[in-house]
């Protein structure tokens, strides 16, 4: 891998800032693209989202391929390795994880572990000189988020949080419509996302999950309110409850409802649940129109509807099928790495949501993160 002069100079600056020359081998966009080499991904954690979505998304990508796996279950990992042509020596477990450092076929890791493990496995990846795409929520505490950001900065690796909606065409269109004034001045937003959780999931363990539905799915509504308005909440009010005393909610809350005020005066009122049927959606009310996405946050089948100031009716179903949201996410990260761009959904973006979730929990009388 060769560095351009500009690339080299950037690395020198980062090294000077961080005090240590990063051990990664940076690729320039030109070099990578002309050589046809793909970004090598190491998948950390073989669960539903990685096996069912992110991994199937990579063969559809022009930029990435799976080159390594990390799992505590060797047999499961071997089956997946066979499917994606991952060589046996590139299967790691959580003890041997740090050895990814010496695997030249790994450029980036995709962290799809329980929330409480995001920080440790991001930091260890950074120390191994690998770029990190980490699932949301970024971590289970603000201090963990900061440690992740610092570790990646120090190692000179990119850190991106996997907010796939921010790379999804209909979400981008909704943002563009709002910014272009198509519905006038935004006044208010409703958004919600939740589901009825089965007992026994790690998501119900406070230590592993950090919190209840707000950490897991309510974060989509929260994040959407931020990218739809382009503002950061200035005031947050919230309630939280447990209704079903059936053993599922001994450690995390079942429901959260919150209302946010943005600096411009825009209000957003949201719900999330682990106890009910709550297909994710948002509805943005402008002075001269409305934009709705319903469903908004699932893997396919999204639907954008709008009534604009000039009388236009938009009724646009999602044309992308699962797992293309994940392909787009992976492609965007490759572009950031190759062209030394900061990811749109970087560590600071992930930290902002964790910080706001902490504020919501505090406002609802629960513990802070």
Show which residues are catalytic: 136, 220
Helices marked H in 189-343: 206-209, 213, 219-229, 324-338
Q: Edge-to-edge, what's the strand order for the sheet holding 64-70?
A: 91-92, 64-70, 39-44, 108-111, 131-134, 159-161
| Alpha carbon distance 271, 214 (integer Å) | 9
Q: DSSP secondary-structure letter at 321?
A: P
**Which 295-324 residues touch a second copy, going by CB under 8 A?**
307
Among 173, 237, 303, 344, contact with a second copy (rule: CB under 8 A): 237
Q: What's the Rg (C-alpha) of the chain?
A: 21
Q: Does 235 bind a second copy (CB under 8 A)?
A: yes
CB 242 to a second copy: min, Å:
6
CB 289 to a second copy: min, Å:
5
Q: Tell me whether residue 18 or residue 187 sits nearer to a second copy (CB atom).
A: 187
Nearest CA to 96 out of 124, 76, 75, 123 is that of 124
| Alpha carbon distance 304, 300 (integer Å) | 12
CB 269 to a second copy: min, Å:
4
Q: Does 196 bind a second copy (CB under 8 A)?
A: yes
Q: Does 173 bind a second copy (CB under 8 A)?
A: no
CB 360 to a second copy: min, Å:
10
| Alpha carbon distance 274, 241 (integer Å) | 11
Q: Tell me whether residue 54 or residue 193 sits nearer to a second copy (CB atom).
A: 193
What DSSP letter does each residue of 5-38 carry, written as one string?
A: HHHHHHHHHHHHHHTS---S----HHHHHHHTPP
Among 22, 280, 289, 323, contact with a second copy (rule: CB under 8 A): 289
Of the listed pieces 62-70, 86-94, 165-173, 179-187, which binds a second copy according to CB under 8 A? 179-187
Q: Given the rule CB under 8 A, which residues bind a second copy?
A: 183-190, 192, 194, 196, 235, 237-244, 254-261, 264-273, 275-279, 283, 285-290, 307, 363
């Amino acid at each position: 891998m060769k560095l351009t002069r500009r690339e080299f100079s950037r690395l020198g600056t980062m090294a000077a800032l961080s005090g240590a020359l990063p051990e990664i081998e940076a690729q320039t966009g030109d070099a990578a693209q002309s050589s046809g080499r793909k970004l090598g991904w190491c998948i950390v954690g073989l669960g539903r989202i990685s096996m069912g979505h992110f991994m199937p998304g990579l063969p559809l990508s022009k930029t990435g391929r799976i080159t390594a796996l990390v799992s505590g279950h060797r047999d499961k990992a071997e089956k997946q390795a066979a499917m994606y042509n991952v060589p046996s020596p590139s299967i790691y477990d959580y003890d041997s994880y740090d050895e990814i450092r010496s695997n030249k076929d790994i450029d980036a890791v995709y962290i799809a572990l329980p929330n409480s493990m995001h920080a440790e496995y991001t930091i260890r990846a950074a120390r191994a000189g690998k770029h990190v795409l980490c699932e949301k929520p970024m971590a289970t505490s603000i201090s963990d988020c900061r440690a992740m950001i610092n570790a990646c900065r120090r190692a000179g690796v990119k850190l991106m949080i996997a907010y796939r909606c921010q790379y999804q065409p209909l979400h981008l269109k909704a943002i563009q419509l709002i910014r272009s004034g198509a519905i006038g001045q935004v006044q208010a937003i409703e958004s919600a996302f939740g589901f009825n959780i089965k007992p026994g999931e790690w998501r119900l363990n406070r230590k592993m999950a950090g919190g209840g539905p707000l950490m897991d799915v309510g974060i989509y509504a929260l994040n959407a309110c931020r990218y739809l308005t382009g503002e950061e909440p200035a005031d947050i009010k919230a309630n939280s409850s447990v209704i079903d005393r059936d053993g599922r909610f001994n450690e995390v809350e079942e429901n959260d409802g919150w209302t946010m005020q943005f600096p411009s005066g825009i209000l957003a009122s949201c719900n999330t649940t682990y106890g009910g049927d709550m297909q994710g959606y948002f509805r943005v009310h402008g002075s001269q129109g409305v934009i709705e996405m319903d469903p908004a946050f699932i893997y396919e089948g999204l639907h954008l509807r709008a009534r604009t100031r000039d009388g236009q009716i938009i009724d646009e179903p999602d044309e992308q099928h699962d797992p293309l949201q994940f392909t787009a996410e992976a492609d965007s990260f490759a572009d950031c790495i190759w062209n030394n761009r900061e990811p749109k959904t970087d560590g600071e973006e992930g930290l902002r949501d964790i910080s706001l979730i902490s504020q919501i929990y505090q406002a609802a009388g629960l513990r802070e993160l």
